[in-house]
Amino acid sequence: MKNFASVWRSWFGARGTALVFLSVASLGASAQTSSREAIDRGLAELRGGRLTEARVRFQIAETLARDAGDRDRQAEAVFFRGLADQSEAQAGKLPGDPTHAAGQAGTVRLLRSALASYEEALRLRPDSPGILNNAAQVQLQLGRTNEALALMTRAIGTSDPMRATYTRNYADMLLNAGRWRDACRFYALVAVEQPQNQPLQQKLVDLCMAKGPDLMGLYFWDLAQAGQVVQVSERALAIVDRPVWEPRQAEELMAVVAFCLARQRLVRQDFVNSSMAKRLDDLASHRVVGEGARELLQLIAGAHMDPSQYRWWPARHQVSQEAPRGIWPLEAFQQLARSLADRAAEDKDLGRQEQYLLLSVGLNLEAPDPEALTQLANFYSENNQLGRLDQLMQRYEVDIFRAKGTAYTQTQLKRIYRYHMALGVIYSHLNRWTSPRVVDSATFQLDRALQVADRLKEEGNDKGLAAVTVPVGLVDLLARAYEKDGRIDQAVGLRLDRAEKFLEAGNRQSAAEVVRPLDAVLRPDPAGVNNPSHSRFLKIQSRLSEPSVPLGGVAGASAEIHVAAQAEGIAGNRGWQSLTEADRKAVESAARSALSTLGTGTAQSSPKVQAYRTLSTNVAPEIQEVSVSGEQGQAVVRRGTNLIRVPFKVEQAPATPGNKARWVRP
């Protein structure tokens, strides 16, 4: 645990910053200077170990501040008086100091005296996280764990710049109290905010490995998605060969590694000589992940670009269902292949770019990579190689339609959308806007893609599928298709419809882009003021000019919360499981309570401070976390020793997906 002395040093270093958050009373200049001078002299004595002199200085400062009516300065003086007692209790006997502690009884006396000072300071400044932290440390030293945790709960609920330190202390206390699962969660919160804190990262790994290995994948995915891809990939590779893992857990760790590598924009020559490449080479003989490690090295080296040379990763994928957590290993591997293609494009190596994309498409014919297909279509079009695109479709068209059919059978709406979009882009490049068979036309596929996107938005399913972000380019393609077919009114209606949907989702930029081509046509209103399209266009322009309404506050409290009927097991029992009505109401209440704190005075400008907030004590105790991004949200709920993730949607006009927040149970 970071002891109080470290916090004391931080307090000294940040004292001027901390006072920015205080409401300083208006004082006469001489009185304020005198109390400030007395505190500074007391601190010099305290640093030098002269505790008696320090206490005298702090007592003088307290008296001066109280007489001047300066509660903040008075609280500061009282705090440091308590710190002098805590310092002596921590140090034990101090040679040459007549007030030294005399054994255990003296230490307890000093701790109680320090606590009394901190409690007095808290009456003056009840929201001071520094005072709360030190008071909690004293309570813990006195053996009062519950009281210490209660104080730290208040400290981490503030927006203080040192909140990560207080959260780390809180996690240490939870661990000492035997609440290791909760400790893991709070270590992970700090790890997200402090990616360079290697000791903390290692502590989280060691704790999960010792107590609950199944949690390791959960936290690795969270940290990786928060951007800590280098740290996570290194630590996952370091532990993947431990004997504690079941095969599926080791495979999940390899998926995390591939996911992280895909986001590192690898330079092949540099990677070959890296410690990570050496670690993958060391794993090559492992009975579970050895072949996967060899294929990762093979992919990055670009030595073998034939899909038949890859067996381990394609076998780790189930077309019939979503991944239990994160993404399937094959999907992560395909992401890495596409990332390497992007890198090749930056290096102007068009041949290698094409090879990586073709490899990703062909790795598993039950699931041809729709993103790689879309990138290949654009690649061939940009390089005037439409004959190659036609050959690609002759080779994979049946497989693509079969994969899309499987996705329809399993109601995998996101996958359905991705295949429709890929086919629409491909057929548009091939100039197949219409076709006697209908299905192999750009118009049909693009129209279906938008229909599925609407279904994801309006219906979802019991697993809480999130709405997809429809690119403006997709709308433009379909509008062009209508225009080519002479359906001008339908093209105009499409743009207006999509602009309204973008606005409903809080995406003003996309709304403005999609109606921009209509500006010259509809703004003059050639058809007269009664033209419905003209009226809709003006309403859209009016909404685009309105100021943004933040999610939260009164709006957040009154928002409609739609909780999914099923939850995903993320630790302990995995897979999807049904929710009771009581479960859903608890999540709805927690989400509403959390959202009501957005847009209030608790919001801060620092991204790190905004990393998380604390849930209200009124929220049901089984709710561990609530997070929201615009209209998509999820709650983490504890069921015994298991954790489940419950998706929910927030319906509010206008929604603002730019608002992201996370609340945790302290």
The DSSP result for 396-455, as a single string, is: HHHHHHHHHHHHHHTT-HHHHHHHHHHHHHHHHHTT-S--TTSTTSHHHHHHHHHHHHHH
Higher pLDDT: 440 or 573? It is 440
Residue 620, domain member (yes or no): yes
Judge whether residue 496 has pLDDT over 90: yes
| Burial status of residue 482 (CB atoms within 10 A of its CB: 0-12, 13-18, 19 or more) | buried
Q: Is residue 633 assigned to a domain?
A: yes
Q: Report the pLDDT value the prediction gives residue 657, as an integer from 0 to 100.
A: 44
- Residues in Cβ contact with 623 at an 8 Å cutoff, skipping those fewer than 6 apart: 586, 587, 590, 615, 635, 636, 637, 665
Q: Region 507-511: what's the mean pLDDT?
A: 88
**Average pLDDT score over residue span 538-563:** 70
User: Does the pLDDT at position 99 exceed 80?
Assistant: no
User: Between β-strands 642-651 and 566-571, what pairing exists: parallel, antiparallel or unpaired?
Assistant: antiparallel
**Residue 604: band (very low, low, confident or very high) from pLDDT cuts 50, 70, 90:** very low
Task: Tell me: pLDDT of 341 over 80.
Answer: yes
Q: Look at residue 281 and tell me if it is in a domain.
A: no
pLDDT (0 to 100) of residue 469 = 81
Question: What is the model's pLDDT at position 194?
Answer: 86
Copy the structure tokens of residue 647: 């998706």
From 164, 187, 209, the end of a domain falls on 164
Task: Say whether the peptide bond before residue 654 is cis (omega within 30 degrees of 0).
Answer: yes
Distances (CA, A) of 398 to 299, 368, 389, 394, 404: 26, 10, 15, 8, 10
Last residue of a domain, which of 164, 194, 214?
164
* Number of Cβ within a 10 Å radius of residue 246: 11
Please give the pLDDT value at position 654. Answer: 44
3-state secondary structure of 571: strand
Total Cβ atoms within 10 A of residue 449: 25
210: pLDDT strictly greater than 60: yes
- pLDDT value at position 564? 87
Tokens 């901190």: give the residue.
Answer: 118
For residue 653, pLDDT beyond 60: no
Banded model confidence at residue 206, pLDDT cuts 50, 70, 90: very high
Looking at every residue in the chain, the average pLDDT score rounds to: 84
Contacts (Cβ under 8 Å, ≥6 apart) of 612: 189, 661, 662, 663, 664
Q: Which of 94-98, 355-359, 509-513, 604-608 has the highest mean pLDDT?
A: 355-359
Q: What is the mean predicted confidence (pLDDT) over 547-576? A: 71
Average pLDDT estimate for 67-96: 82
C-alpha pair distances (Å), 496 with each of 145, 340, 453, 574: 60, 38, 16, 43
Rounded to whole angstroms, what are the CA distances from 355 to 105, 299, 360? Answer: 75, 11, 9
Q: Is the pLDDT of residue 55 over 80?
A: yes
pLDDT at 629: 79
Q: What are the percentages of helix, strand and coil residues in the chain, rounded to 5? A: 65, 5, 30
Q: Which of 509, 397, 464 has its CA nearest to residue 648?
A: 464
Q: Model confidence at 466, in pLDDT bands (50, 70, 90)?
A: low
CA–CA–CA angle 518, 520, 523 (5° rounding): 80
More confident residue, 608 or 451: 451
Q: Which two tokens stand for residue 443?
A: 């118009």
Does residue 315 lie within any of the structural domains?
Answer: no
Mean pLDDT, residues 415-419 taken together: 94
What value does the mean pLDDT take over residues 462-473? 74
Q: How does residue 662 score in pLDDT terms, banded at 50, 70 and 90?
A: confident
Is residue 214 over pLDDT 60? yes
The pLDDT value given to residue 88? 87
| pLDDT recorded at residue 607 | 41
Does 79 have pLDDT greater than 70?
Answer: yes
DSSP conformational letter for 580: -
Across 430-439, 582-591, 649-658, least confident range? 649-658
- Looking up residue 67, the CATH number of its domain turns out to be 1.25.40.10
Kindly state whether residue 148 falls inside one of the protein's structural domains: yes
Instruction: Compute the CA torsion angle 120, 121, 126, 131 (nearest 10 deg).
Output: -120
Name which of 656, 662, 611 is nearest 633 in CA terms.
662
Q: Residue 92: what residue type?
A: G
pLDDT value at residue 601: 37
Residue 336 banded pLDDT, cuts 50, 70, 90 = very high
Question: In sequence order, which ranges of 287-348 are alpha helices (DSSP H)?
Answer: 290-301, 312-315, 329-346
Does some domain include residue 37? yes
Question: What is the Cα–Cα distance from 665 to 615, expressed in whole angstroms?
Answer: 5
Q: Within a domain: residue 533? A: no
Q: Is the pLDDT of residue 411 over 90?
A: no
pLDDT at 7: 43
Residue 635 φ then ψ, to 5°: -125, 140
* Coil, strand or helix at 568: strand
Mean of the pLDDT values across residues 201-224?
92
Q: What is the mean pLDDT of residues 639-651?
A: 85
Among 164, 196, 217, the domain-final residue is: 164
Q: What's the DSSP call for residue 20?
A: G
Tally of domains within the chain: 2
- Residue-range definition of the domain harbouring residue 96: 4-164
Cα end-to-end distance, the chain, whole Å: 17
pLDDT at 252: 96
Residue 236 within any structural domain of the chain? no
| Bridge partners, residue 651, by sequence | 560
